[in-house]
Structure 1
Amino acid sequence: MLLRLAAEKATGALLRDHGTVYFVEGRIVHAESPSSPGVDVLLTAAGRLPREGWEDAVNQAGARGAVGRHLVDSGRLHDGELEICHLGAVYDAAFFALGPAGGPARFRPGAAHWFGTVRPVDTEAVERETVRRRELLDSVWPYPAVDTTPVIPRPPAPGQPVGTRHRALLAAADGTRTPADLARVLGRPAFHTLLDVRRLAAAGLVETPYEAAPPTPPLVPAWVGEVATPDPDIALLRRLRDALEAAL
């Protein structure tokens, strides 16, 4: 569907259960997801923009879909700052919105986001980056249950180093906050927080659950035990032999 929207130079919004991706002439201009912090959180939590400055921009330019442009024109942000922050938010939200568990997709032609266009991104680039990020997470720690459960710190082993970035995350982990909660508290993209949590899990620095392995199918069909008798006949022995040969 992404490739078709790009080929048709579609303008509108692609809606899924875990987020929405906005298109202008087949290119992605914005994305948002309940699983990731928005541009406002990334700017305000980091202290780059006061909350009242963000609210003023929304009030002044939200109705005409030009919040991003207003932040620059009003002198609150430089062009480069806005572009870097917005691209980070787009890739972050798209990772969740376009994930395999995102549910059915539906397209709303003509829909636009009130933030406005900053720098359009090729659809293929977003799709490629989404796949790369998913593979990276699995290569670090192949247990996705850690992505949605509360993060509980564990004490490091004697002499085990913990970097500044990870120390800040562990300090914010109070045993009830999930990685998504921590991303909002710290003002960091959600994907990078997931990656940090998986690295901490691999290092044994957080308590996180393993996913149960799928049950192993029996090698012998259940009917073998049910039909066995103290005095088996020739037909039963042949059925047992066939079942064992089929299982090998």
Structure 2
Amino acid sequence: MLLRLAAERATGALLRDRGTLYLVDGQVVHAESPAAPGIDVLLTAAGRLRSDSWQGALREAGADGRVGRHLVDSGRLSGGELEICHLGALFDAAFFALAPSSGPARFRYGVAHWIGAVRPVPAETVQRETLRRRALLDRLWAHPETDTAPVVPATRRPGARASPRQRAVLELADGTRTPGDIARALGRPAFHTLVDVRRLAAAGLVETPATAAPPEPPPEVVRVMEMSADPDVALLRRLRDALEATL
């Protein structure tokens, strides 16, 4: 759907389960997702912009969709700083917004975002980068449940080392914070935090969430299993039949 909208040079908002992409003339100009810190968090948590300066820009230029331009014109940010941070936020949110989903996608024509145009990105580039990031995570640690579960620190293995970035993640891994929570606390893109968490999991420094315990076998299966300590062909057939009956 994104590529079709790009071919149509559509302008508006593509709404999906896990986020929204904003298009102008078929190019992606912004993205938002509940799973990713917004550009405001990335700017203010890093100390590059005070929270009151951000709120002031929203009040003065939000209605006109010129918040980005206002931040540059007022001297609060340089054009390069805004562009780099905006692209980071865009690709971060797009990764989650374009994740496989069973929900329907909707497009609202004409809807614009208050940040305004900073640097449009071709839809093909956004899609390609999203797929590259998904493949990278799978190569690092092929357990996607790690991305959404609370990060649980593990007993440090002898010889296992964490980089300074990863140590900052470990300091917040208290068994209650998810990778998204940690990303917001650190003011970092969520995808970068997922990379850190999966690398830590691969090194044995955080635990992959335990899978659910297998269900207890139904009574009829238990009875069949208890009939004999020396299984024979007839017993195995009855066990097979009992198991198939429960599926």
TM-score bracket, shorter-length normalisation:
0.7 to 0.9
Once the two structures are superposed, the pairs formed by residues 85-124 of structure 1 within 5 Å of their partners are: 85-101=85-101, 103-124=103-124
Give the equivalent residue in structure 2 for 1:183: 183
Separation in 1 of the partners of 2:240 and 2:91?
59
Give the equivalent residue in structure 1 for 2:30: 30
Give the equivalent residue in structure 1 for 2:230: none
Q: What CA deviation, in whole Å up to 9, does each residue of 1:174-197 have, x standing for no partner?
A: 221000000000000001101110
User: Percent of counterpart pairs with the same letter?
Assistant: 68
Partner of 1:48, secondary structure, is coil
Kept in 2, the 8 Å contact 1:201–1:207? The answer is yes
Separation in 1 of the partners of 2:138 and 2:158?
27
Structure 1 pair 183/226, CA: closer, same or farther in 2 (3 Å)? closer
Give the equivalent residue in structure 2 for 1:165: 165
Matched length: 222
Q: What CA deviation, in whole Å up to 9, does each residue of 1:50-70 have, x standing for no partner?
A: 111111110110010010111
CA drift at 1:173:
1.8
Separation in 2 of the partners of 1:119 and 1:227?
61
Give the equivalent residue in structure 2 for 1:244: none
Unaligned residue ranges in structure 1 (runs of 5+): 215-222, 229-248
Q: What CA deviation, in whole Å up to 9, does each residue of 1:24-55 have, x standing for no partner?
A: 00000000000000000000011111111111
Partner of 2:176, secondary structure, is coil
* Code of the aligned partner of 2:187: G
Q: What CA deviation, in whole Å up to 9, does each residue of 1:133-181 have, x standing for no partner?
A: 0010011000011111111112322333221111111112222100000
Once the two structures are superposed, the pairs formed by residues 74-223 of structure 1 within 5 Å of their partners are: 74-101=74-101, 103-211=103-211
Partner of 1:64, secondary structure, is coil
CA drift at 1:113:
0.6
Separation in 1 of the partners of 2:4 and 2:144?
30
Q: What CA deviation, in whole Å up to 9, does each residue of 1:201-243 have, x standing for no partner?
A: 00000122255799xxxxxxxx953899xxxxxxxxxxxxxxx
Structure 1 pair 109/158, CA: closer, same or farther in 2 (3 Å)? same
Once the two structures are superposed, the pairs formed by residues 233-244 of structure 1 within 5 Å of their partners are: none
Matching of residue 225 in structure 1 with residue 238 in structure 2? yes
Partner of 1:174, secondary structure, is coil
CA drift at 1:102:
6.4
Kept in 2, the 8 Å contact 1:91–1:126? The answer is yes
Q: What CA deviation, in whole Å up to 9, does each residue of 1:74-108 have, x standing for no partner?
A: 10100000000000000000000011026210100
Unaligned residue ranges in structure 2 (runs of 5+): 215-235, 242-247
Kept in 1, the 8 Å contact 2:143–2:208? The answer is no
CA drift at 1:110:
0.3
Structure 1 pair 224/40, CA: closer, same or farther in 2 (3 Å)? same
RMSD of equivalent CA atoms:
2.3
* Code of the aligned partner of 2:113: H
Kept in 1, the 8 Å contact 2:160–2:203? The answer is no
